[in-house]
């Protein structure tokens, strides 16, 4: 008979993270089996939970734990960063160079169906750096200037992506297919305009919302990729080079007002300040598991010195139709915001 697991919980980082530990280093799968609903409730309540001191050894352990908490892991579709799938539903957190910071963002908020929960499994922490960056998107929503929030809440924003050889992901990598017709069908089903500007140059344009309402708590949250995908989030020298070469509509990713006009510098600075002003560092140690409510908390990564091994699973698919009030479930500019599942 499996021994009952005792939980010790503590509020951390101003209440954004719930720390969870247990005496005796029990198995992670046993924790999920005995206390799955409790752990999930703490994630919703705080925004994130950091589990420390639990044993896990292989992919089956991670898969079983995720299923105990929220259900089967999801695939990674309409990709925006390089990742390696290590096991069905388990990916490297990112293959982005370790010397580069990954700016705060909410996972796949530019998709019509988004992952509700993120599970970060730390197999090996970095000898230096590599903190997980977190920021409370509910607090960001409340702290941003009201005129900025109101405009983007009402209008949404425009995301333009260019898939070019040698610059970021190819369209084949992003959409997981070599077939242009499959890309066209996916885009048609997901409110995306797609255009082949050359044989290997594909441009997509999609209108997306910037503000969501949490389906459980009813709290509004700043839930978008508008700042992450904006040219201002690139290193200054790189941004200047790309903009000079390709223009604002031709670089790999950029965001605009819903009418296609460029976002002014003062708004860009306010958005960056909103994220940076709420940024907190979480240091995941070897064996730790960080669970994030993707609707409530943005995540990123500080630069680090290798080696570092961090895996991610995404779970509980949620349609944008669930994230807006009933009368506002259409995409900005018209069109359905996804299935209502």
Model pLDDT, residue 1: 54
Contact 298, 137 (CB under 8 A): yes
Residue 271 CB neighbours (<10 A): 26
Contact 130, 308 (CB under 8 A): yes
Question: DSSP E strands: which ranges in the chain?
Answer: 8-12, 17-21, 48-51, 85-87, 90-92, 102-105, 113-124, 128-129, 132-136, 157-163, 192-198, 201-208, 211-213, 220-222, 253-257, 280-282, 289-293, 297-301, 304-305, 309-319
Model pLDDT, residue 338: 46
Residue 129 CB neighbours (<10 A): 17
Residue 215 to residue 291: CA distance in whole angstroms: 18
Per-residue pLDDT in tens (0 to 9) along the chain, 341 residues: 579 999 999 999 999 999 999 999 999 999 999 999 999 999 999 999 999 999 999 888 998 999 999 987 876 565 455 557 877 778 877 678 999 999 999 999 999 999 999 999 999 999 999 999 999 999 999 999 999 999 999 999 999 999 998 898 899 988 989 999 999 999 999 999 999 999 889 999 999 999 999 999 999 999 999 999 999 999 999 999 999 999 999 999 999 999 999 999 999 999 999 999 999 999 999 999 999 999 999 999 999 999 999 999 999 999 998 998 655 556 776 655 543 33
pLDDT one-digit tens code per residue, 110-153? 999 999 999 999 999 999 999 999 999 999 999 999 999 999 99
Backbone angles phi, psi at 340, to 5 degrees: -95, 25
Model pLDDT, residue 335: 58
pLDDT one-digit tens code per residue, 154-181? 999 999 999 998 898 899 988 989 999 9
Residue 69 to residue 92: CA distance in whole angstroms: 20
Buried b (16+ CB within 10 A) or exposed e, 68-97: bbbeebbebebebeebeeeeebbbbbbeee
- The structural domains of the chain, ordered by start, are 1-332 (3.60.130.10)
Q: Tell me if residue 185 falls in helix, strand or coil.
A: helix
Closest CA to 210 of 303, 162, 274: 274
The angle at the Cα of 201, spanning 199 to 206, to the nearest 5 degrees, equals 130
């Amino acid at each position: 008979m499996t021994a009952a697991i005792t939980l010790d919980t503590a509020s951390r980082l101003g209440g954004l993270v719930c720390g969870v530990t247990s005496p005796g280093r029990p198995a992670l799968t046993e924790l999920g089996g005995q206390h799955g609903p409790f752990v999930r409730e703490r994630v919703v309540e705080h925004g994130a939970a950091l589990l420390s001191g639990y044993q896990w050894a292989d992919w089956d352990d991670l898969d079983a734990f995720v299923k105990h908490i929220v259900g089967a892991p999801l695939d990674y579709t309409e990709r925006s960063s390089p990742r390696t799938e290590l096991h069905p539903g388990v990916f490297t957190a990112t293959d982005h160079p370790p010397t580069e910071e990954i700016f705060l963002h909410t996972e796949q908020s530019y998709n019509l169906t988004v992952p509700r929960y993120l599970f970060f499994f730390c197999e090996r922490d970095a000898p230096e750096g590599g903190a997980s960056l977190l920021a409370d998107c509910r607090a960001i929503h409340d702290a941003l200037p009201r005129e900025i929030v109101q405009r983007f809440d009402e209008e949404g924003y425009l995301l333009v992506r260019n898939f070019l050889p040698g610059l970021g992901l190819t369209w084949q990598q992003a959409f997981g297919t070599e077939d242009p017709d499959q890309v066209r069908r996916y885009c048609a089903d997901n409110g995306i305009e797609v255009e082949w500007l050359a044989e290997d140059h594909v441009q997509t344009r999609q209108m997306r919302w910037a503000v969501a309402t949490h389906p459980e708590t009813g709290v509004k949250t700043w839930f978008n990729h508008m700042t992450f995908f904006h040219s201002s989030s690139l290193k200054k020298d790189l941004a200047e080079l790309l903009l000079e070469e390709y223009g604002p509509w031709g670089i790999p990713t950029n965001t605009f007002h819903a009418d296609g006009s460029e976002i002014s510098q003062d708004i860009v600075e306010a958005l960056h300040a909103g994220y940076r002003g709420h940024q907190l560092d979480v240091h995941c140690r070897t064996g730790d598991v960080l669970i994030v409510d993707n609707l409530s908390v943005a995540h990123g990564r500080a630069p680090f010195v290798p080696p570092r091994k961090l895996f991610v699973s995404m779970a509980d698919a949620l349609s944008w139709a669930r994230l807006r009030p009933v009368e506002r479930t259409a995409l900005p500019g018209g069109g359905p915001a996804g299935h209502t599942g």
